[in-house]
Amino acid sequence: MFSKRMSSRVAAILVAALLLATMGLIGCAEPEEVEEPEVSERETVKVGVHTSLTGGLADYGFAAREGIKLAAEDFSGFVVDGVEYDIELVILDDKGEPAESPVVAQNLVDQGVVGVIGALTSGNTNAALPIYEEAVIPMISGSATLPDITEEGFDVFFRTCLRDDLQGAALGEWVIELGFERAVVMDDRGDYAVGLGNEVQATLEAGGVEVLREEGQEGDTDFSAQVANMRAFDPDVAIFTGYHREAGLVRKQMVEAGMADVQFMGGDGIKSDEIVDEAGGVENADGMLSTFSGFSPDDMPGFSEFADRFEEATGRPAGPYAENNYDALGALITAIVDAQSFEGADIIAALHEIEYQGVMGSFGFNEIGDIEAPDKTGIDLIPRFELKGDTWEYIG
Amino acid sequence: MIYALIALGYTMVYGVLEFINFAHGEVFTIGGFIGATFLIWVGVDDGTPLYAKVLYLAAGFAISVVLTAGLGWLLERVAYRPLRGASRIIPLLSAIGASIFLQNMVIVIFGSQPVIMPTAVIPSGFVSLMGVRVRVLAIGIIVLSIMLMVGLTYLLKATRIGKAMRATSQDREAAEMMGIETNRTISFTFVVGSALAAVGGVLVAMYYGSLKFDTGFLYGLKAFTAAVLGGIGNIPGAVTGALVLGLVENYGVGLTLGWLAGLVAVGLAVGLYIQLWRAPNKRIAILAADGRAEEYRERILRLYRLAPYHAVKTVLTERRDAVLRLTARHAVRLTLGNVFLSGMLVAFVLNAGYQFSSKWQHAISFIVLMLVLMFRPSGILGEHIQEKV
Amino acid sequence: MSRIRNTSNAPALPWIPRWMLALAALLAAAAFPLLVEYGVIQTVWIRVGTRALVYVLLAVGLNLIMGETGMLNLGYIAFFAIGAYTTALFSSPRFGFEVPFWPLLVMSAGLAMLAGYLVGLPSLRLRGDYLAIVTLAFGEVTRYTFNNWESVTNGPGGIPGIYRPTVFGYLVERPIEFYYLILVFVVLAVLLVANLKNSRVGRAWNALREDEIAAEAAGIHGMRAKMVALVISAAIAGVAGSLFAYYQQFINPTYFVFMQSVIIVCMIVLGGLGSIPGAVLGAVVLDSLPEFTRQSFSSWLPAIFGRDFMAGWPDFLRTFFLDFDQYRMLIVGLVIVVMVIFRPEGLIPDALWRREVHQEDPREQEHTLQTLFDIEEGKQDLEV
């Protein structure tokens, strides 16, 4: 009996110690900044930021938030009906969970935001859209690339990124241009990767390229089964349509299996500097090709300046979709000024008419809310990059 | 092969405590993180001389093993020991809680981004084995696993503490009476299991070049599958199971449905027959063994106290007729099962040309896990522990 | 020995009857949207409340197999997924079907039950921990199937645009209407489970949980009783899934990840295994706590104490409360470990479970009994 009581007391002490340790660790974690809107005589207007700051895509969420913050600084002080307005951002995190997304959306609606930038992923956008649609609050996403979203007939939705079907077609056409005849298309079973992969495969098959489709799972580390299948197929090119972490591992394991000479390509998910380390160093990663679902740097005159400012503000290089999110807020505010109104319906009407000039260059939106550039259309919009050494260079 | 190292941890804990240490996968992740973080911290790069690299790597393994073994000890002390003697489900819940806690701890401490192992410490050579290119590291891992397995077997069979572990697993109370400090033995089991997981974690980080906070979850499950496949509680079984699972995962994807159908159908048929024939026999044995009837009477009475409304009206000896009826019903089910299986076989054969896409990879291993647990829970090489009623 | 019967089946709060507490809880739940209607709290609480009610349904359902019958199920979300996908496929533009509410609800529940039956058939005879792993594998296989079977489920892209249901000729559209619709089903489920609990099969479940072999020897058909529990709880999850799909209007496979199963298990452990009020409380607390913390520290407390009320606080406390989401799962894990060690019967314990987990040492029990016998027979005096 005695020993039993003792052990539970010891356990109590240990649990308490563990609790304290946890608290301490939390303290060590980098404290998040608290939004402190400036106190001023001018009016403020709330804009919602619906993004994912925790969960698997937290780095994308961080880039989006910081891009939007920069835009909020730049666009504050716009004038509607002779009154000057400042932007107050209401930043909420949906944790990357679709079940949390409607709650975040409702919360933003409750707080009376005039427009929303987000959501980060297509799934969470789909989960939140019915709520914004009902409240007639315009929603502009900088990174929800799933083609279906604008096809579903929602009035409030716009996006400043290019669709996966466009990028997939461009990626496929590029492969055909390069003269490859046997291609492996691989995805990670996520919504983004599968959509993009299907589009690439369809384009390739239409162009007479022989395709082997392989699929891994997001979060996996071992792709030896897929790599073995690839080897048996003996491709000229491997196209991975998922994110950089898995892409790096696939590339590494391909090289280890003796397929170093197979060209490695991917979509915007692999266009990250981290892929170099994840693929096991420069010698494995060098020469990778990728497309991107934003405009090309040539068409984005303000981009280098933006990238510098981003790095200055955050200490990190401008992350993926930071500029798309910057311009999402920019377009929203411009539409508000054009409409001279904070009514959702007026802003939406103005967004359809807008000719916006921002970091990404000049663009507008078509009738279903997809981004439109004045001079280029279709797959010409999609920029191409090559990984030279350890940096991605724009090659046209 | 890495599965084997983790599976050994599961098997050991299960062998001694009959308890699935759900947090073992997380212990593995933390081991890998500690090793990788240490190597990043000392700043190994290509310029480091070879002897220093080896030294750093050894130090990385040592630190990871020590800290992770300490974590294993702490885990047992805090989360499992106070629950010893509680019903089966409760320590398992505690293990799940500990697993979630540790996984999120990794996020809080190391962040949600993967940790990248410095490439300098990863042997990059290849050797050609029977025409197949194999990484030196892979061979190293296999050799290390076999060495650890042999060492562990020696530890269990020939040393004092090994004997204590076996005694504890047979009958804790009796072992205690014989003067074995069971608490210390169990702690030791956790320490050894966690140390093995740490080695596995560092090796995985080296083999794949990086490690993420949620890597351990899937590895833990796969390793558990391997342990069960080989017969849980059985050390050579864990290694065999790991090998079989690895083969199924890598080659199962390439199999056509026709092949798989054959395997599944045969497996199902054998399993079903065994189950159907064994179950009633077991029940008869239980009830007919008059020598043990007293024991059951005791247990029924205890139940009676816990659930006072449930009147126990039937006397044990009256159950024999019921057993006969049961057997008849099982015969009917056997026939139905046959019809069902033949139908399935025909359906599969009709679709025999369909090849599995690699997207079903994990689904296949989970299905293997389900089938093994359902139809042959004692695994390929048999369970080390005897069933305790 | 059986002379001393422990018949104490006393409620947690002995001075108020349980049914009154239940009624009070129901009234509170029913009145809660009024706070929103009259603008005391914001509309988002309706959404939080509705989602919490879905989790209540799941927790009550899981409690049936886990709490009552003692089978740990780590793949419970699979039944929820089957219900949700059935509804999504048959009431959305995906294939152009629009099956009315009631038949579809029955279909969703029915398919979940069928899945429960098929998976239970070979697996229910397994030991508790093996069963847990089999159910975990089942849950994952189900999710992979929905994720991979693109021609039917649209794979990871999910199914958007699920139609609003029409219940008894009334189109359910606003969040508040969904809240009451789901509340009705929660009440039905609670009544069902509460009745089952005290029925013949309920007692059989408890007996199986305490000692399976003894229970079987005493004449309980273990397999059948367990199967009834599994199938009923699968049906509850199927209904919950169907309602959830109608409410969200969009589903994709990421809703049904393994962590969700674990969270539901956590809700029950927190509330108390085998206890219906416990399951309800656990679900409500765990589901709404993050939002509650967020609202408290970002709007309510600042409104009361002024914007800078946290200025003097240590950094880590501020971080902790402002970024509570990040630490939610950490806390959940810790809470489970602490709960099972120090209060395994949960916050609102079930009488039988309490006795089970706080079992006295058998030797001591014997001693107590012996003492009681002795006192009864006058061999020993009652100590004062």
Contact state of A25 with B82 under an 8 Å Cβ cutoff: no
**Mean pLDDT, residues B288-303 taken together:** 54
- CA dist., res. A120 & res. A140, Å (int): 10
> What distance lies between CA B163 and its chain's CA centroid?
22
DSSP string, B116-135: EPPGGGS---EEEETTEEEE
Q: For residue A74, give the nearest of A332, A311, A378 by alpha carbon.
A: A332
> Is the backbone of residue B232 left (phi > 0), alpha (psi -120 to 50) or beta?
beta
Q: CA–CA distance from C180 to each of A135, A348, C32, C91 (Å)?
A: 21, 33, 10, 21
3-state SS, chain C, equals: CCCCCCCCCCCCCCCCCHHHHHHHHHHHHHHHHHHHHCCCCCCHHHHHHHHHHHHHHHHHHHHHHHHHCCCCCCCCHHHHHHHHHHHHHHECCCCCCECCHHHHHHHHHHHHHHHHHHHHHHHCCCCHHHHHHHHHHHHHHHHHHHHHCHHHHCHHHCECCCCCCEECCEECCCHHHHHHHHHHHHHHHHHHHHHHHCCHHHHHHHHHHHCHHHHHHCCCCHHHHHHHHHHHHHHHHHHHHHHHHHHHCCECHHHHCHHHHHHHHHHHHHHCCCCHHHHHHHHHHHHHHHHHHHHHHHHHHHHHHCCCCCCCCCHHHHHHHHCHHHHHHHHHHHHHHHHHHHCCCCCCCCHHHHHHHCCCCHHHHHHHHHHHHHHHCCCCCCCC
Is some CB atom of chain B closer than 8 A to the CB atom of C332? Answer: yes
Q: Which of C44, C255, C325 sits opposite A99 (nearest CB)?
A: C255
Spatial neighbors of A293 by CB under 8 A, at least 6 apart, are A145, A161, A162, A163, A164, A166, A167, A267, A268, A382
Is residue A240 helix, strand or coil? strand
Q: Which of A10, A189, A278 sits opposite B210 (nearest CB)?
A: A278
Residue of chain A minimizing CA distance to B102? A22
Q: Cβ contacts (< 8 Å) between C157 and chain A: which residues?
A: 122, 146, 148, 191, 194-195
CB B45 within 8 A of CB B122: no
Helix (H), strand (E) at residue B142: helix B136-158
- CA dist., res. B6 & res. B219, Å (int): 8
Tokens of C71: 């089978």
CB B255 within 8 A of CB B356: yes
Amino acid letter, A306: F
Half-sphere exposure at residue A251, Cβ-oriented, CA atoms within 13 angstroms: 30
CB C143 within 8 A of CB C81: yes
Q: CA–CA distance from A60 to each of A31, A121, B59, B106 (Å)?
A: 19, 10, 36, 20
Query: pLDDT confidence of B168, banded at 50, 70, 90?
Result: confident
pLDDT at B290: 47
Test mutation, B208, B251, B360, B364, chain A, max A CBs within 10 A: B208
- CA dist., res. C175 & res. C177, Å (int): 5
Q: Cβ contacts (< 8 Å) between A56 and chain B: which residues?
A: 112
Q: What is the mean pLDDT of chain A?
A: 83
Contact state of C210 with B303 under an 8 Å Cβ cutoff: yes
- CA dist., res. B284 & res. B319, Å (int): 9
- CA dist., res. A197 & res. A267, Å (int): 9
Q: CA–CA distance from A58 to each of A53, B110, C110 (Å)?
A: 5, 14, 39
pLDDT at B303: 52
Query: pLDDT confidence of A48, banded at 50, 70, 90?
Result: very high
Q: CA–CA distance from C379 to each of C2, C376, C383 (Å)?
A: 20, 8, 12
Q: For residue A359, give the nearest of A157, A142, A118 by alpha carbon.
A: A142
Please list the rounded mean pLDDT of every run of 10 residues in chain C (384 residues).
37 62 85 81 86 94 88 91 95 89 94 92 78 88 88 87 89 89 94 88 84 78 88 96 94 89 88 86 86 77 71 71 74 84 77 60 56 57 45
CB B193 within 8 A of CB B13: yes
Q: Which of B112, B210, B254 sits opposite A229 (nearest CB)?
A: B254
Residue of chain A minimizing CA distance to C316? A27
Q: For residue A321, give the nearest of A352, A297, A292 by alpha carbon.
A: A292
Q: Which residue ranges form the domains of chain A, and what is each CATH number? A: 43-163+301-365 (3.40.50.2300), 165-292+381-394 (3.40.50.2300)
DSSP string, B315-353: -GGGHHHHHHHHHHHHHHHHHHHHHHHHHHHHHHHHTTT
Contact state of C340 with B97 under an 8 Å Cβ cutoff: yes
Test mutation, A5, A213, A222, A229, chain B, max B CBs within 10 A: A222
- CA dist., res. A390 & res. B45, Å (int): 17
| pLDDT tens column, A64-88 | 999 999 999 888 888 888 888 889 9
Neighbours of chain A (3+ CB pairs under 8 A): B, C
Is some CB atom of chain C closer than 8 A to the CB atom of A14? Answer: no
**A296 or B56, higher pLDDT:** B56
Query: pLDDT confidence of A145, banded at 50, 70, 90?
Result: confident
Range name among B256-265, B362-371, C164-173, C302-311 with the lowest pLDDT average: B256-265
CB C329 within 8 A of CB C360: no
**C91 or B250, higher pLDDT:** C91
Contact state of C356 with B87 under an 8 Å Cβ cutoff: yes
Query: pLDDT confidence of A49, banded at 50, 70, 90?
Result: very high
Q: Cβ contacts (< 8 Å) between C338 and chain A: which residues?
A: 15
pLDDT at B216: 83
- CA dist., res. A254 & res. A148, Å (int): 33
Give me the interface pTM, i.e. the ipTM. 0.81
The single residue listed with the structure tokens 């929303």 is: A116
Neighbours of chain C (3+ CB pairs under 8 A): A, B
Q: For residue A216, give the nearest of C142, B357, B254 by alpha carbon.
A: B357
Is some CB atom of chain B closer than 8 A to the CB atom of A221? Answer: yes
Q: Cβ contacts (< 8 Å) between A257 and chain B: which residues?
A: 133
**Mean pLDDT, residues B47-57 taken together:** 84
- CA dist., res. C70 & res. C68, Å (int): 6
Residue of chain A minimizing CA distance to C291? A103
CB B375 within 8 A of CB B264: no
- CA dist., res. C156 & res. C141, Å (int): 15
Q: CA–CA distance from B55 to each of B48, B62, B140 (Å)?
A: 11, 10, 17
pLDDT at A2: 42
pLDDT at C80: 96
Nearest-Cα distance to chain B for C294, in Å, is: 19
Is some CB atom of chain A closer than 8 A to the CB atom of B215? Answer: yes
Q: Please give the span between the terminal C-alpha atoms of chain A, in angstroms, as a whole number.
A: 77
Contact state of C327 with B19 under an 8 Å Cβ cutoff: no
The single residue listed with the structure tokens 């979850």 is: B217
Tokens of A84: 């000057």
Nearest-Cα distance to chain B for A362, in Å, is: 35
Contact state of C342 with A12 under an 8 Å Cβ cutoff: yes
